Each structure stands twice: as C-alpha cells, then as structure tokens.
Structure 1
C-alpha cells in the first residue's frame, strides 16, 4: 500500500515522502479500513518535527482520523461488517491506503456526509466533547469562550456548543476569520488582534468555560474574563507552555484549570468516548447542527502541501487528504 513516511528534514517537502509498505492485517478486536480520506491535524506537524511521538503500539505513520470502508475484520469484533462506511479515531496510520484500528474507536459515517467531511470529525469531535463538555462541564445557557476559533477544533467547538444550547464568544486573528466564526454561529466573534479584547469579552458578560489553544500569551486574559466558578481548559500551547497564574484569583473566583491530550488516552477510555460521541454528537450532525467546514483537499502524495497550508495558519476549518 502507499503511505506517507517521515524521512527527516526541517520542512514538509523534505520530511514527507510517498513510500510503499505491506498492507496491515487486523489483530483480534481490530478492523481494517480502506481509507478514502484522512484528516490533517496540528499534532501531525508536531510529530513530523519530532515533538509528538506515537504512543506505544501505534503506527509511526502520521494521521489520527480517517474515513473509508471496512475491508477486513479481526477476531472477536462485533457490530461491524465488511463494506460498512465508517470513520475512526487512530493512534496513528491515517496517511495510508489502509489503516487498522480498534473496532471500538470506529463510528458510522453520519447520514448525509461525504467521506471527506467524515474524515474531519473524529479527532476534533472527540477532543471537543472530552474537553468542553466533560472536563469543562459546559451547560445550556452558559458561555463558552474559544480561542483559535477558526481552527479545526474551533469550528467544531462553535457548532457543538450551539447545538448544546450554549452561548459562544470566539476569538481569531483578523477580520476575515472573525467573520467566518460569526457565520458558523458564534454569538460574538472578535478579532484577537484588537487592543480591547479583554474589555470586549467582559462587556459581553465574560465566560463560564474557556477552550484555550493559545497557551502562555492568553493566561492573564483567561484569568480576567472567567466568571466565578469558571473552567479553563487547555488543549494546546501555541505561544508557550509556561504562564503566570494568580493562585489567589483562582481561589477567590473558584476557577478550575485543567487540560488534556487525546492521543495518549487508554484504548478503553477512547472506546467510552466513542460511545458517548455517537450517542450525543452524531444526532446533532444528522440534524444539520454540525457540518465540518473543509478548507482544502489534497491527494495523499501532496501531504507536504497540506502541511504547509496548516502551518501558514490562514485556513478556516479542516484540511483533508484523499486516497
């Protein structure tokens, strides 16, 4: 099968090359998917640069989410048959013509979605559900503040929060991106480059939950705009890992600071999340409340171009490879 391998080098063109590998066989409890589309995510960039190694037992091939058709089934698998159209969350292996995955991490392609759209769902939907709704405890009527609102995670979080009956304040760089977040349903969409960003958020009532993909540069802002009892959920640190925290403010305002990653979670935990997502989020998708915006689609052999687009930060929504 054709795959994209990491060969080294500082840039996508040097690091990502098309190669041939043996087709993987599903072990007990796994299915094999003939991949039609694979999502491209920021963790792929980190892994390409040596900063996000795959967990033990996972493929070294990039790619954390795919959509396609089941073409082989391992022992002990129930609920799936050859020919089922599915999408799946992977620990790695998505940039390839075939991928094997724990059958419990597989979901049917929602009605009305193409494989390209479905490939944009698992990594982002699982991440938002686990962090905004479980760790963040977002409830109907509360306000979610999303930094990086036009990223793949951001556009998903806007739509999921609105589907759940919450209010959304979105921040993103530039007027064009702010308009895009507004079109996706944000109640207030702000250009993050304005000087009065904190005042604008506070004038809108502040936030009950912050979904933070920025990190150090927004630490002071988040502490200032969270309401009493607010939850600050960190899922990426694009501007640095180290930040100054006013512990007295956290105590007096009963602010909860938490964070997580998805890839390293145990298989049983991902299976639990898959079941919860299928029960809660899939009906939102099939009702039209969540449609993954696709910025660009590239063939597998152009993975380097997909990485360059993601690194440039000008995209709105997801970037997808097709096979």
Structure 2
C-alpha cells in the first residue's frame, strides 16, 4: 500500500472539482475531490469522493513525510524542500460539511468549526473542577466559568469530558516551585500530570525572578527546572508574571483543551467515514537516461545524446519494461 500523496484526474466530466487526491491517512488512505492539486495561492475547496477508480489516471505522486489527524484537521507534510506543508480542515458551512485544503502561505493556523456532541468552551460557561486541597483557589470571577470543588488526582484545576478529567493545570508560586523542584516533589506531580491527555504547570511570577530568590541558588533551581521540562515534555511550564494573569491563562488554556479534545472525540473515526483508496500500485523506479537512450536506439528511434528525453519515448520504454517484469516467471 503506497504512502504517497497521489493526485489523479477525476473521471466524472460533470464535476466542478477536476482532481482526485488520495491522502495516506488510515490503513487504506482516504479520497477527496479537489479544485487544485496543491494549495499554492489560496485555500482549495474539497469534497469527499465516492471511491478511488481502479484505472485512475495518476497525474502526480509525492512521497509523504508525515500525515497526522488532530481532531477535525489533517496535517500533511511532503518529503520535499518547498511547498511541503499543508492542512486539510473539516468544517461546517450552512449546515453541511466542507473541506478546505490550505498551506502556511494561504491561511493562518486553522480553527476548525464543527458541530460537536459535547459542549465547547468557546462562547459557553466553562465548568472547572478545583482541587479541594487548594487553600486560596482561583475564583474565575471575571471569566465565564463556574467551579466545583473536589479532590483531583493530578493538578489544581481541571475540566472534564463525558465525566472524565481530560486537562489539568498545576499552580505554583515561585518559592513553592523552587522548593518542590529541589526536594523532588515536583517530579511526582509532573508524572501524574503527564498521564492526562493534556496538562500544564503555571507559575505566578517571572522566570527572571528565579535568580533573585533568597536562601536558594537560582542556578540550581533553573537546572532542576530544565531537567523537569526535558523529562516531561508533554507538560508545559508557563510563567505568567502575576496571579491574575496566571488565572486568566489557566482559564483560556483549559477552554482550548476542552475544545480541541471535544473536536477530536467527535471525529475519532473520521478515516472510516471516507471512501477508501484501497491498494495503490507503488511508483516504479525512475529509468536511467542511458538505459532509455540505448533502448530507443535499438528500436530505431531518434534520440539525442544529451538533454531531455521525449515523454513519448519514456512512456514506451516504461510500458515495455512493465510488461516484461509482469511476464517474468517466479
């Protein structure tokens, strides 16, 4: 099964989308119809295709470095130096699904808009669970949020999806951060946070003030902090200068997590909902120019010693080579 991005001609003459694109997502790849072969100058409108034709006329084939789905967005990176990054975004317009194919040169990072079975944080009141061990918790009085208090297994503030904690934030003052780093307590807290789908640690101070702490070496704290960040890369540590800013960041970050994870849950099986591309023949190795010229002369065809070989001669050569390899006996 090919892991290439493959562009073929749409065999439907009545379609306004002249290309079929096979995206290597999932076990068999998915198929979309597209207006262009790549989002070079503007977003490309796409739509689901019914199937990948068995006799597809392949126009382009590009090796893919990575193809990853993140909720309703599919990030696609080709294995080439330029025009290699793009994103397919599944969204809603006037009550129906549409797909836009965009690249960094045509649009900013996508903010997919999908109808979700669970509430999104954006535009709604966020329900935040506050750990009952917090002595002076954030009240979120200036944000659209309600709070409930109970014991959390990890973090001080969390949001839930379908009754399960999916994102949490650990809050630290700078002295508390330094003490927990040097004692090793923070290692255990970060380990618990890393087990969640999303987690972060917010510090109510500036990073520079770490080197002005009394009775403790700022260099030791900075070294321990760097080691913790390397050991637990999935848990970002954010310095927010003041307590109000840390509260605001916590609110925004938890809301973004809930929106992203809700979108991911709503589109968990999106690959299965597309038409499968099935098995696609691998690209044949490009013929050596010297071999083609030698073959052409044996056939009595006129070919120059240098420069580009005519496309018709290349097609005839590759067709004969393919026929010969298919007829070989094992």
Is the radius of gyration larger for structure 1 or structure 2?
A: 2
Interval containing the TM-score (normalised by the shorter chain): under 0.3
TM-score where L is the length of structure 1: 0.21
TM-score where L is the length of structure 2: 0.21
Per chain length, whose mean CA-contact separation is higher, i.e. which structure has more relative contact order (CA < 8 Å, sep 6+)?
Answer: 1
Q: Which has the higher helix share?
A: 1
